[in-house]
Every structure is written in C-alpha cells, then in structure tokens.
Amino acid sequence: MPRAGWVKPQTDQRLSDHISIGVLTRVFPPELVDRVVAEADRVERRRRLLPARVVVYYVLGLGLYSSSSYEEVMRMLVEGLSWASGWRRPWSVPTKAALFKARARLGAEPLRALFAAVAAPLAEPQTAGAFYREQRLVSIDGTCLDVADTAANEQAFGRPGSGRGEGVGAFPQLRLVGLGECGTHALFEVAVGPLAADERTLAGRLLGALAPGMLCLADRGFYSFELWNRARATGAQLLWRTKSNHRLTVLERLPDGSFLSQLYASSDRRRGEGVAVRVVEYSLADPGRPASDTRYRLLTTILDPDRAPAEELATLYTQRWEFEGALDELKVHQRGPRVVLRSKTPDGVIQEVYGHLCVHYAIRWLMHTVAYDNGHDPDRISFTRSLRAARRTTASHVGFSPRNAERSP
C-alpha cells in the first residue's frame, strides 16, 4: 500500500530515479560523486538504467549492507519500490548480471577518489580523548581482509599459508595499512596491496597525511630507520614501539627515567650519522599471572621530558589500540564476522574495499557529530547502534534524482 503523502507518478520513471541513501549523502553529496566520476572519466555515454552516480551509491550500499544480496541492496536503496506494479510501465530490480557489469564499467578509481576527497581527521580541540597537550593523536596499523576465492583474486593478492604451514588458507587475502585518528576512530588515509606486501612499505604511502600538530603512534613491526626518518620529516611527533633487542646506547639519563640515545641506519654505527631519539622503557605486570612480565621500549621524537613525561607517554601508548577497535568495527560489525568480500575480480575488490572505508568514515562522522554537539566522548557511543541508524536512514529518507544537475528538470 502507498504511504500517506505519496503521489503516484504520472509518467514513466526509471527505477534509478529514486535513490535514497540517508546519512551517506551528508558525507558524500551527489555533486561530489559527480565530480569524482567525471575526473575518472566514468560518465556514461548514453542514458542507462544504472548511471555512474547510482552505481557509486550502490557500491556504498554494498558496504552498508554487506550480508545482503546484490539485488536486495538495490531494493534498500530505491525509494517507492512498492509502487512498481502501479507504474504504467512496470520496473524490476536490475539483475545481478546487470549490477555486476555496471560496477565493472565504474571501476575502482571513483571510489578511491571519493574516499580521498572526504576522509580527514574529525576531532575538534574540544573532542574528548582526541589530543595530548594540543597534539592530535593518530595511529598506524594494518590488517588483512579475505576476498572471494577466484583465480584472478589469488593471482593479484595471494593466499596465506595454513596454520601449520602444510597447506594454504581457504581464501586469498589483501593487506591494508591505515592511518587513523585515535579519538574518533576515523580512518583518513589507507594503502592497499597484496598479501605479500611489507607493512612498512605500505605505511610509507601514508606519510603524506602526517602533519605538524600530530602525534603518531605505531607498533614495533613498523619501525625501520628509513621509515622513522621519513615520518619525522613530516613535522609530526612520533611515539613508536621498537623491539626489545634493539641496541640503544644510553647517552644521558633523564629525571623521568627515560634516556637520550641515537638511531642508526645499521648495526654498524661507524657507517652513518645518528639521529637523536628519546627512549622510554617500562613493563606491565599482570597480578593474575605473576610469572608474566611484558616489557615495552618506546621511541619518541619529543626529547624534552617536560613536554611529555615518560609516565604519560607510557600511558598514552595504549591509545594505539584504538586503531584495532576501528578495524574491529570495519571487519566484524560493518562487514560482518567471517564475511568474505564478494567481488570476483581484483578491480572489484579494490572498489568494494573503498566502499567499505567510505561507509565506515560516514558512520564515524555521524558519531562524532552527535557526540560533539552533546559534549560526549565519541568512544561512549555504540558503533553498532550507529550502524543500525545509518541503515534505517537509507530506507526512510526521500530519494533524489541520480542524473547530473544540467539534465535535471
């Protein structure tokens, strides 16, 4: 039955003329989508049931409804679908084959450009838990994502070994390394590569997003002399963990217990000039496990202990795990536990990954906006409830015409 206030169309309409994507249009407005599509030269040459703008929002819909079928996602995006039988010329949801071909025509570049155009740190100076002494807390970390088991995906991304090393994993995987804001969980720079890609190599592609006024955290797997120097050159401050067997000479012991040392390009210190660094060492003992003693060794570019006492830095390093919370949101709650990316081709996989990243950023934007307007910490707002709210807005908000402005009446 039609809803109250609806007016039955008097002329034939395309199914794609009534797309509704709720909160996603606030973050990714139609004019921005049209711009990235045009810059990627993906504007359709003829009138289609699935124009490029619609396909971009459809890919975002795949990220929002990751456990739904291709056709069901389109049903959720189309406004007034229950009227289909009442139109003069009945319409049906495009077939899976038509949707697959439309995604192939669009390619991955518009989604990659859409994420790059919007993703940026969200926190304001008043955002709770987002800054340390006026420095924005950000973190680098990585993860792997299962992709559809096809020969093309395996060739492009690679397949992991089994747990015992005697076989291979069930699905090919890609590697993703990201730079995220600790206080809001917003990922604002990512690098995607095959499973065999080194995390430090991918992390090097993120450094352009670092800037003065940021304090970047990273785990011990990311440290190398070259990457440290490149990150330091951005003007951002660094607080990275290093391995316990990293040889560091104590040049000066400081009042807070930390010490000054030098970093070198190799273990042979006669080959190069050292870089000044401050080292913070501490251990965590679990009262429930008296025999356990986890030791940490942190490197920082903040050489003055008055600007950042060792005890505060040791406590601050735990904020790095906020990034793991963001990955959990993306991989478990948004994508769904044990859900494999559905795309059968490498280009479709990259397109789908950036669709998921765009959706995660939009939800985190929503959460930060609500928290900031009400004076709350974004961490105190449930991601799963926000995800459900975003899904509801997709089905309840009015649609818009997907055609370009100059074609619209």
pLDDT tens digits for range 216-254: 999 999 999 999 999 999 999 999 999 988 989 999 999
Tokens of 326: 């963001």
Same domain, 201 and 350: yes
Same domain, 64 and 125: no
**pLDDT score of 337:** 76
Per the CB < 8 A criterion, the answer to whether 14 and 402 are in contact is: no
**pLDDT score of 401:** 41
Give the range of the structural domain holding residue 106, as residue numbers without chain letter.
15-115+385-407
Residue 398 located in a structural domain = yes
Residue 209 has pLDDT above 80, yes or no: yes
Work out the average pLDDT over 55-84.
Answer: 77
Q: Among 150-159, 258-267, 300-309, which is the least confidently predicted range?
A: 258-267
**pLDDT score of 86:** 41
Residue 16: band (very low, low, confident or very high) from pLDDT cuts 50, 70, 90:
very low
Residue 289 has pLDDT above 70, yes or no: no
Residue 14 has pLDDT above 70, yes or no: no
Work out the average pLDDT over 294-302.
Answer: 92
DSSP codes of every residue in 311-346: HHHHHHGGGGHHHHHHHHIIIIIIS-TTPPB--SSH
Work out the average pLDDT over 110-116.
Answer: 97
Same domain, 282 and 372: yes
Work out the average pLDDT over 328-342.
Answer: 86
Residue 172 located in a structural domain = yes
Same domain, 286 and 399: no
Q: How many residues does the chain have?
A: 409
**pLDDT score of 292:** 54
C-alpha distances out from residue 397 to 22, 104, 305, 367, Å: 5, 28, 53, 19
Residue 33 has pLDDT above 90, yes or no: yes
**Alpha-carbon 269 to chain mean position:** 39
Same domain, 344 and 360: yes
Residue 395 has pLDDT above 70, yes or no: no
The backbone torsions φ and ψ at residue 380, rounded to the nearest 5 degrees and listed phi first, read -90, 0
Residue 143 located in a structural domain = yes
Tell me the three state secondary structure of residue 258: coil
Q: Considering Cα of 368, then 370, then 373, then 375, what sign does the dihedral take? A: negative
Residue 84 has pLDDT above 60, yes or no: no
**pLDDT score of 46:** 62
DSSP codes of every residue in 108-166: SHHHHHHHHHH------TTSTTSEETTEEEEEEEEEEEEB---HHHHHHH--PBPTTSS
Residue 191 located in a structural domain = yes
**pLDDT score of 90:** 47
How far apart are the C-alpha atoms of 171 and 344, rounded to whole Å? Answer: 12
**pLDDT score of 151:** 95
Same domain, 177 and 314: yes
How far apart are the C-alpha atoms of 378 and 357, rounded to whole Å? Answer: 18
Residue 130 has pLDDT above 80, yes or no: yes
Residue 5 located in a structural domain = no
What's the whole-number average pLDDT of the chain?
83
Residue 398 has pLDDT above 90, yes or no: no
Residue 8 located in a structural domain = no
Tokens of 274: 């050292």
Residue 285 has pLDDT above 80, yes or no: no
Same domain, 162 and 260: yes
Same domain, 298 and 399: no
Residue with tokens 């818009």: 400
**pLDDT score of 399:** 43
CATH of the domain at 341: 3.90.350
Residue 406: band (very low, low, confident or very high) from pLDDT cuts 50, 70, 90:
very low
Higher pLDDT, 362 or 16: 362
Same domain, 102 and 152: no
Residue 71: band (very low, low, confident or very high) from pLDDT cuts 50, 70, 90:
confident
Residue 274 has pLDDT above 60, yes or no: yes
Residue 201: band (very low, low, confident or very high) from pLDDT cuts 50, 70, 90:
very high
pLDDT 10s digits, 144-197: 999 999 999 999 999 998 766 667 788 999 999 999 999 999 999 999 999 999
Same domain, 23 and 172: no
Residue 369 located in a structural domain = yes
**pLDDT score of 8:** 41
Same domain, 298 and 360: yes
Q: Considering Cα of 71, then 76, then 79, then 80, what sign does the dihedral take? A: positive
Same domain, 162 and 301: yes
**pLDDT score of 216:** 97
Residue 82: band (very low, low, confident or very high) from pLDDT cuts 50, 70, 90:
very low
Of 85, 4, 17, the closest CA to residue 50 belongs to 17
Work out the average pLDDT over 39-66.
Answer: 85
How far apart are the C-alpha atoms of 359 and 362, rounded to whole Å? Answer: 5
Distance spanning both ends of the chain, measured CA to CA: 28
**pLDDT score of 400:** 43
Residue 9 located in a structural domain = no
* Domains in the chain, number: 2
